[in-house]
C-alpha cells in the first residue's frame, strides 16, 4: 500500500512539474489524502475550545497552539499575536487567546489573499441531546458529527489543506496566502477589531482580498454569500418595588414592572411581522426588480424549510418574499426576560425588576446609532403613556452593521468559475440572515474587497445538537479552495 501511495505521488509530481497549474493532479492529491484530512479534523474537534467557558480557556489556548504549529510545519511565517485581556463579570481579567497569523509567499508580483476563520466553538454536552459524543468526531452515513466540525474547524482546515496540496506537488502558489485565525468568534471576537486596526498598515498592507468561509449553503446547491445582516441588541429594564412581592398580598395595589415591560414590548412589532418603531422601515434600502429576480431563481424549498423548523405556517407564502425577509429586511426578535420566574412549578411573585432582551437585525441603509435613538425614544414614549411610577432604562449592548458586497465584483466571478469547475454547478448567490461582524470590520478598517466562500451544508446544525460536516463538503470544499486560489490569481 505504501509503494502504491509512493507511485501515485510520483506520478502527480511529474504531472505538476509539466504544467504550473494542474487542477487534476491537485484534485487527485486531495482525494488520496481525504482520510488523513478527516483524522486531522478529528484531532481538532477533540479539543473543547469553548470560548464562552473561562474554565476551558486552557483548552482554547491549546487549540490556538495546535493551529499555529500546523501552519509552522508547513513552512509558514507564523505569529501568535497578543490581543489583550478579557474582563470577567467579577472585575478580574484573564488573557484573551492569541490570534494566529501566518504567511505563505511574499512575491510582490502576485496578489495576496487573506483567509479569515476561527477555531473556537459553542458549548456542547452529550446530555443536551447529542446522539454522539460532541468532542469525538463520529462518521455516520458520510457525515462527520462533532462540535465545531462545520463551524468553523473543517473550513479552516480545508483552506490549510489547499495550500498543503500545492506544496506537496511542488506547485507554486498562484497567490500569496495569509491566514488570520481567532479564538473568540463565538463570543463576539473580543479584541479582534483593535488588533485589525493596529495591524492595518503592517499585516494587511499588502493584502488585496479577504476570504471568509464561516458560512454555509442555502440548499444542496453550492452558493456564494454576498451579504449579511447586522444586529442591534437591546436591554429594556423596568424597575419598581425595592423587592419581589407576594401577588396575593400586593397584587392590585402596585404598578407591576412585568406588566409595564410586556406592554411596551408589544409596541415593537405586530403579528404580521411589521416593525412599529418609527423610522426603522423608512431607512431600509429599496428592493430592486433585479434583486427580486435573483431571489426567484435561487434553489430553495418552502415546504422543506417549514418541515425542518416544525411550524404549521410561515409568514410568507412565496420563496422570493420569504428570502427577502430573511436576508434583506430588518426584524425584531424578543429573546427573553431576565428576572421573571421561569422554573418548573408555580410561584406567585411580582418581580421587582425585569429586563427584556431583544434584537433588531440591521440591513442597508440602517445606522445602528440612529436605531439606538429610535428604539430608546419609542420605548420611552410608550412607557410614558402608561403613567407608571416605575423606572425604564433602555441600553443597546451590541451595534453590529450589515455587510453587502457587489455581485459584479470580479472576486465573485472567480468564485463562480471555481464552483463550476469543481462542483459542476453554477452557485446560487445568497445572503445570510445572521451577522458576521468581522466582514464589516475588515471592510471599514482595511478597505479590502471581501468574498464569502462557504462549504458548509444547509443542514449542518451550527450551534445546535448533532452539528456535522459531510465528508463530501469537506473534501470537495478543499478542492474548491484549491481551484479558487488559481482563479483569484486571474482577477
Active site residue 39: no
Question: All 3 cell numbers of residue 279?
Answer: 423610522
CA–CA gap between residue 170 and residue 292 (Å, rounded): 46
Site of grid cell 492569541: 98
| Cis peptide preceding 152, ω within 30 of 0 | yes
Which single residue is written with the C-alpha cell 471568509?
A: 212
Q: Pick the catalytic residue: 59, 120, 164, 237? A: 120
227, β-bridge pairs: 404, 431
Instruction: Please pick, among 50, 185, 428, 476, the residue that the annotation labels catalytic.
Output: 185
Query: Between the CA atoms of 466, 472, 475 and 476, what dihedral angle is there, to the nearest 10 degrees?
Result: -130
The separation between the first and the last C-alpha atoms of the chain, rounded to the nearest angstrom, is 41
What's the residue count for the chain?
Answer: 491
Residue 211: name the closest of 454, 460, 490, 382 by CA.
454
Q: 442 near 1, Cβ under 8 Å? A: no
Q: Is 365 a catalytic residue?
A: no
Output the 3-class SS for the chain. CHHHHHHHHHHHHHHHHHCCCCHHHHHHHHHHCHHHHHHHHHHHHCCCCECCCHHHHHHHHHHHHHHHHHHHHCCCEEEEECCCEEECCCCCEEECCCEEEEEECCCCCCCEEEEEEECCECCCCHHHCCCCCCCCCEEECCEEECCCHHHHHHHHHHHHHHHHHHHHCCCCCCCEEEEEEECCHHHCCCCHHHHHHHCCCCCCCCCCEEEECCCECCCCCCEEEEEECEEEEEEEEEECCCCCEEHHHHCCCCCCHHHHHHHHHCCCECCCCCECCCCCHHHCCCCCHHHHHHHHCCCCCHHHHHHHHCCCCCCCCCHHHHHHHHHCCCCEEEEEEECCCCCCCCCCEECCEEEEEEEEEECCCCCHHHHHHHHHHHHHHHHHHCCCCCEEEEEEEEEECCEECCCCCHHHHHHHHHHHHHHCCCCEEEEECCCCHHHHHHHHHHCCEEEECCCECCCCCCCCCCCEEEHHHHHHHHHHHHHHHHHHHCC
Active-site amino acid positions = 120, 185
Amino acid at each position: 500500500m505504501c509503494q502504491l501511495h509512493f507511485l501515485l505521488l510520483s506520478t502527480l509530481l511529474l504531472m505538476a512539474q509539466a504544467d504550473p497549474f494542474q487542477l487534476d493532479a491537485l484534485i487527485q492529491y486531495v482525494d488520496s489524502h481525504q482520510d488523513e484530512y478527516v483524522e486531522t479534523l478529528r484531532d481538532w474537534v477533540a479539543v473543547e475550545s469553548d470560548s464562552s467557558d473561562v474554565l476551558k480557556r486552557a483548552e482554547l489556548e491549546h487549540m490556538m497552539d495546535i493551529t499555529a504549529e500546523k501552519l509552522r510545519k508547513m513552512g509558514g511565517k507564523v505569529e501568535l499575536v497578543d490581543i489583550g485581556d478579557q474582563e470577567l463579570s467579577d472585575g478580574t481579567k484573564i488573557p484573551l487567546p492569541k490570534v494566529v497569523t501566518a504567511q505563505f509567499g511574499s512575491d510582490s508580483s502576485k496578489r495576496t489573499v487573506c483567509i479569515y476563520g476561527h477555531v473556537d466553538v459553542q458549548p456542547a454536552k452529550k446530555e443536551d441531546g447529542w446522539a454522539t459524543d460532541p468532542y469525538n468526531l463520529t462518521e455516520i452515513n458520510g457525515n462527520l458529527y462533532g462540535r465545531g466540525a462545520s463551524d468553523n474547524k473543517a473550513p479552516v482546515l480545508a483552506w490549510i489543506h489547499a495550500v498543503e496540496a500545492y506544496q506537496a506537488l511542488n506547485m507554486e502558489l498562484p497567490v500569496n496566502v495569509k491566514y488570520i485565525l481567532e479564538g473568540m468568534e463565538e463570543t463576539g471576537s473580543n479584541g479582534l477589531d483593535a488588533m485589525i486596526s493596529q495591524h492595518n498598515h503592517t499585516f494587511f498592507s499588502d493584502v488585496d482580498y479577504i476570504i471568509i468561509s464561516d458560512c454555509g449553503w442555502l440548499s444542496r446547491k453550492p452558493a456564494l454569500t454576498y451579504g449579511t445582516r447586522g444586529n442591534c441588541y437591546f436591554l429594556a429594564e423596568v424597575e419598581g418595588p425595592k423587592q419581589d412581592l407576594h401577588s396575593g398580598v400586593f397584587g392590585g395595589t402596585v404598578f407591576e414592572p412585568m406588566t409595564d415591560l410586556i406592554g411596551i414590548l408589544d409596541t415593537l412589532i405586530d403579528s404580521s411581522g411589521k416593525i412599529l418603531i418609527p423610522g426603522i422601515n423608512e431607512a431600509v434600502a429599496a428592493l430592486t426588480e433585479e434583486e427580486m429576480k435573483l431571489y426567484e431563481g435561487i434553489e430553495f424549498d418552502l415546504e422543506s424549510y417549514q418541515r425542518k423548523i416544525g411550524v404549521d405556517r410561515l409568514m410568507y407564502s412565496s420563496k422570493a418574499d420569504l428570502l427577502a425577509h430573511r436576508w434583506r429586511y430588518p426584524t425584531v426578535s424578543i429573546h427573553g426576560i431576565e428576572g421573571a420566574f421561569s422554573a418548573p412549578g408555580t410561584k406567585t411573585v411580582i418581580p421587582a425588576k425585569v429586563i427584556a432582551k431583544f434584537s433588531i437585525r440591521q440591513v442597508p441603509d440602517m445606522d445602528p446609532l440612529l436605531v439606538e435613538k429610535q428604539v430608546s425614544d419609542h420605548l420611552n414614549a410608550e412607557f410614558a403613556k402608561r403613567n407608571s411610577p416605575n423606572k425604564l432604562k433602555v441600553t443597546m449592548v451590541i451595534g453590529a452593521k450589515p455587510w453587502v458586497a457587489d455581485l459584479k465584483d470580479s472576486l465573485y466571478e472567480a468564485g463562480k468559475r471555481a464552483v463550476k469547475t469543481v462542483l459542476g454547478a453554477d452557485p446560487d448567490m445568497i445572503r445570510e440572515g445572521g451577522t458576521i461582524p468581522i466582514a464589516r470590520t475588515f471592510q471599514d478598517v482595511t478597505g479590502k474587497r471581501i468574498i464569502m466562500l462557504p462549504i458548509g451544508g444547509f443542514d449542518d446544525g451550527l450551534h445546535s445538537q448533532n452539528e456535522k460536516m459531510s465528508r463530501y463538503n469537506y473534501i470537495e470544499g478543499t478542492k474548491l479552495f484549491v481551484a479558487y486560489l488559481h482563479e483569484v490569481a486571474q482577477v
